[in-house]
Structure 1
């Protein structure tokens, strides 16, 4: 006998949102592999992409086509790690308070606990790393958390600072491959803001039934 899958399929738009969050999380978590670079070089904008998003996809594909795994590894090191610290600090607390490990991280950890997400034992960065936040948003969409929970998490932990971070990434002195990633991230954050704004009040106050069942 076959097991019947009662989990509703994601709408195409939500699957795309989850995929973009996952891609950003992957690229910001560590330097991409040669296989990832090869895949990125084949990307083409969708027909329904706005001009800004289409430009970002095209720029990312072009840059990936000419980049090397070694050069991007060096770039990632300079941007985010450095000696002591990198050119950029990809942490929410840093952008919101000017310091690390401050009150916004406490709120984030509380919210992650409520959502049922825990940091993996092989991850050492604080949970307010931009890659981690993108990964959480992707998981929330894939796990059918309702728009209400997605919007609340996004408003608390991404909206207040992510666009500024992605803008800084575009214009960082050491950014070459990561500059179009900053462009993609900035426009995607704005696209998410527009998307949440156009949802009805009912959609923004309804919690996913499947999540209610899993968290009970």
Structure 2
């Protein structure tokens, strides 16, 4: 297993890959996409990807879809699916799936856990902390943190508390969204990657 030095912490290559995936999903699920961001995908050779794995297949499909759209189209679709006027077609906030309402007890619990890691919401951020893009960015931070490092057990606890209970329902909602095309591919990638994360956490806890 290859390892990279990160501050005083040694990170396995697979952890860098996990962090990269969380960062990718955070960017896509925040709608912060531009043509320079998409251009990096067009440089990837799909033939080199292992499409026999669910993640490899869905990532390959994402790259294929990127070749058919530009940033303006993706942002328009994002707004149609996740913003809109009134209640969006698809809610991206964990408290909605966990409690049925926004800004409920799950958000309070999340803020308490974030505070334990010294994390607070950027005042410039419109979304609350239970937005899926923010949670993916937090997971990326927890994997890469080195001052102090965050243990695998702490990562697992955060994931199981704040993503595992509802990401599947979010992926289902995206799949059923009539306004979604490109984002259906993103939703499937989100599901298979977080499924792998859940299985990995469960396997390590059983060992």
Per the normalisation by structure 2, the TM-score is 0.89
Q: Quote the Cα distance in structure 1 between the aligned partners of 2:160 and 2:180.
A: 27
The structural deviation recorded for 1:50 is 5.0
The structural deviation recorded for 1:7 is 1.0
CA change 1:75–1:6 in 2 (3 A) is closer
Q: Quote the Cα distance in structure 2 between the aligned partners of 1:13 and 1:30.
A: 26
8 Å contact from structure 1 (residues 42, 61) kept in 2: no
Q: Supply the RMSD in Å over aligned alpha carbons.
A: 2.0
Q: How many residues align?
A: 199
The structural deviation recorded for 1:193 is 1.1
Counterpart of 2:184 (choices 179, 187, 197) is: 179
Q: Quote the Cα distance in structure 2 between the aligned partners of 1:67 and 1:47.
A: 21
Instruction: Specify the SS of the correspondent of 2:18.
Output: helix
Q: Quote the Cα distance in structure 1 between the aligned partners of 2:172 and 2:42.
A: 22
8 Å contact from structure 1 (residues 21, 134) kept in 2: yes
Counterpart of 1:90 (choices 89, 92, 100) is: 92
Aligned position for 2:70: 68
The structural deviation recorded for 1:151 is 0.4
The structural deviation recorded for 1:73 is 1.3
- Tell me which moved more, 5-14 or 122-131: 5-14
Q: Quote the Cα distance in structure 2 between the aligned partners of 1:199 and 1:150.
A: 12
Q: Quote the Cα distance in structure 2 between the aligned partners of 1:100 and 1:51.
A: 35
The structural deviation recorded for 1:45 is 7.7
Q: Quote the Cα distance in structure 2 between the aligned partners of 1:50 and 1:146.
A: 31
User: What does residue range 64-213 of structure 1 map to in structure 2 within 5 Å?
Assistant: 64-143=66-145, 144-200=149-205
The structural deviation recorded for 1:46 is 6.6
CA change 1:42–1:10 in 2 (3 A) is same
- Tell me which moved more, 64-73 or 129-138: 64-73
CA change 1:155–1:105 in 2 (3 A) is same
- Deviation track 1:61-84 (CA, whole Å, cap 9, x = no partner) reads 011111022111110111111012
Per the normalisation by structure 1, the TM-score is 0.86
Ranges in structure 1 where 5+ consecutive residues have no aligned partner: 203-216
CA change 1:103–1:6 in 2 (3 A) is closer
The structural deviation recorded for 1:201 is 5.8
Q: Quote the Cα distance in structure 1 between the aligned partners of 2:181 and 2:39.
A: 17
- Tell me which moved more, 32-41 or 142-151: 32-41
Q: Quote the Cα distance in structure 2 between the aligned partners of 1:194 and 1:179.
A: 23
8 Å contact from structure 1 (residues 31, 76) kept in 2: no
Aligned position for 1:34: 35
Q: Quote the Cα distance in structure 1 between the aligned partners of 2:47 and 2:96.
A: 33
